[in-house]
Amino acid sequence: MGQFTKTFSKFLFLGFCLFNFVFAPAAAADWPEKPVRLIVPYPPGGGTDLVARLLSTELSKQLGQNVIVENKPGGNTIIGTGVLAQAKPDGYTFGLVTDSHVINPHIMESIPYEIENDFVNVAQLVNVPFVLVASKGIGVSTIEELVAKAKEAPGTINYASPGSGSPHYLAMEWFANLADIDITHIPYTGVGPALAALGGGQVDLMFTGLSTGLPQVADGRLVALGVSTKQPSEGAPDVVAIAESGYPDFTFITWYGIVAPKDTPADITTAMSKEIKLAMQQPAIKEKLLALGVLEAASTPEEFTEFIQDSAKQYDQIFALIERAEQRTE
């Protein structure tokens, strides 16, 4: 009877091992075995969508499976990111996020997910530098001239943005705080209308992406005062950095990255991170990204996690500065 029990126990153990082998989640070596979803919480046609489609095309070639972009805009990215948070963590759903990912908790009353707990960070994709552009009518061509004019007549210079809480607004408020100048915010419904007002002389200043600002500088409609990178940007080598114009603490970079639902297997997120880096560093892809005004910045999951934490801290500081400034004016 004892021998039978031992034999039966071995049989059960082998059966258990076989069951786990057959039904265990697919490891990275087997992944992907079907198409992969890439959720983009923005509408088609914008910079985020264009970058996502460049990436998805290259990843599809590398992985041997289609990487399908799904646009789910709305709620300042919360709708699409919420869909991602609820997705099955099986390695077949990823999502694009931007710095709105860390801004939204400051400006939204409630969010149906927690950025620290409901996602696993996969890789940063790009950095998106800003350029500070001015209308021709304001009569300044450098950061120094702008600050001097603003101090001569506080409150008379205004600036456009696509709304309070947007990166464009936050960049300007932070710069104004560092420069100790009083300028007036005029919000618009988007980057397009804001740039149109700037070009038409209805407003004086605006921070915007290189791809939207530099063409209007090139055709003489606007003046480029400085870029938001630490040194002159690869995308605008002839434009001085604001940090080199007397404000060394000013570096403002927006960004895009890829995350996955929490509990997505680590071996799959690591594999995806490596595939993303391979795709983003293709010379043809980097050239296309530069044409869009963005700079390749592919990273490991660990590097992206640290980057997000640093970005969140920077925005915490900017919102605190704005809040203190508002309290002083009350």
Whether residues 228 and 139 fall in one domain: yes
Q: What is the pLDDT of residue 23?
A: 42
The domain tally of the chain equals 2
Say if 262 falls within a structural domain. Answer: yes
Residue 27 pLDDT grade (very low, low, confident, very high; cuts 50, 70, 90): low
pLDDT of residue 324: 84
Any idea what the CATH number is for the domain that residue 196 is in? 3.40.190.10
CB neighbour list of residue 118: distance below 8 Å, 6 or more residues apart: 85, 261, 262
Mean pLDDT, all residues of the chain = 90
State the average pLDDT over residues 144-157: 96
For the cut 80, the answer to whether the pLDDT of residue 20 exceeds it is no
93 and 165 fall within a common domain: no
Residue 24 has what pLDDT?
Answer: 43
Where on the phi/psi map is residue 110: left (φ > 0), alpha (ψ -120 to 50), or beta?
Answer: beta
243-277, pLDDT tens digit by residue?
999 999 999 999 999 999 999 999 999 999 999 99
Cβ atoms of 223 and 134 within 8 Å: the answer is yes
Whether residue 96 is found in the same domain as residue 187: no
Q: Do residue 61 and residue 156 come from a single domain?
A: no
Q: Mean pLDDT throughout 41-65?
A: 94
Contacts of 33 (CB under 8 A, 6+ apart): 26, 65
Q: Which one of 226, 252, 278 terminates a domain?
A: 252
19 pLDDT higher than 60: no
Query: 253-261 and 93-98 as β-strands: parallel, antiparallel, unpaired?
Result: antiparallel
Domain boundary among 252, 268, 302: 252
CA dihedral 241, 243, 247, 249 (to 10 degrees): 150
pLDDT the model gives residue 29:
73
Domain that holds residue 104: 36-128+254-318
**Which two tokens mark 145?**
């001239």
27 within some domain: no
Write down which residue in 221, 237, 252 finishes a domain: 252
pTM of the entire structure?
A: 0.85
pLDDT top residue among 261 and 5: 261
With respect to residue 123, please indicate whether it lies within any of the assigned structural domains.
yes
Residue 201 lies in a domain: yes
Amino acid at 310: D
CATH code of the domain in which 41 resides: 3.40.190.150
Residue 194 lies in a domain: yes
Residue 124 lies in a domain: yes
Task: Give the tens place of pLDDT for each residue, 277-326.
Answer: 999 999 999 999 998 889 999 999 999 999 999 999 999 999 998 888 77
Residue 31 falls inside a structural domain: no
Give pLDDT, residue 73. Answer: 93
Residues 259 and 123 in one domain: yes
- Examine the pLDDT at 192 and tell me if it is beyond 80: yes
Q: Are residues 140 and 243 in the same domain?
A: yes
87 and 147 belong to one structural domain:
no
Provide, rounded to the nearest whole percent, the portion of the chain with pLDDT above 90. Answer: 80
Q: 227 and 86, same structural domain?
A: no
pLDDT of residue 18: 44
What proportion of the chain, given as a percentage, has pLDDT over 70? Answer: 91
E strand intervals along 6-86: 36-40, 67-71
pLDDT for 325 equals 76
Same domain, 160 and 206: yes
Determine, yes or no, domain membership for 192. Answer: yes
What helix, strand, coil percent values describe the chain, rounded to 5? 50, 20, 35
Examine the domain organization and report whether 52 and 68 are in the same domain.
yes
Q: Are 223 and 301 found together in one domain?
A: no
Q: Count the neighbouring beta carbons within 10 Å of the beta carbon of residue 310.
A: 11
Q: Are residues 247 and 135 in the same domain?
A: yes
